[in-house]
Amino acid sequence: MTRTQIQLPDELYQRAKTFASQREISLAEMTRRGLELFLARFPEEAPKKRAWKLPKVRSGGLKVPLEDLHRIAAADEEIRSLGKR
């Protein structure tokens, strides 16, 4: 359980103490119950889920034909293999 401090106007504090005393509960218990009631009355709204969309990829302006890519990859492979010898 977490301890916390709150500030209340004097009049509200006195009314709350009187209310709790009349019901033979602590001010802390009354506060917990009040918060539970308040949060049950105003539940947190779940964020609205948006439909998933395929991301758009911006590839820039450079377009290389597939045949050129094969040729470039083969040349790169050859250069790398020469360096390992």
- Interval 5-44: pLDDT, tens: 999 999 999 999 999 999 999 999 999 999 999 999 988 8
Using alpha carbons only, give the angle 73, 75, 77 rounded to the nearest 5 degrees: 70
Q: Are 27 and 17 in contact (CB under 8 A)?
A: yes
- What proportion of the chain, given as a percentage, has pLDDT over 90? 47
Statement: the pTM of the whole predicted model exceeds 0.85: no
Residue 80 reports pLDDT greater than 90: no
Residue 84's pLDDT band (cuts 50, 70, 90): low
CA distances (Å), 80 to each of 28, 36, 58, 66, 84, in order?
A: 73, 68, 30, 21, 7
Per-residue tokens: 54: 């395929």
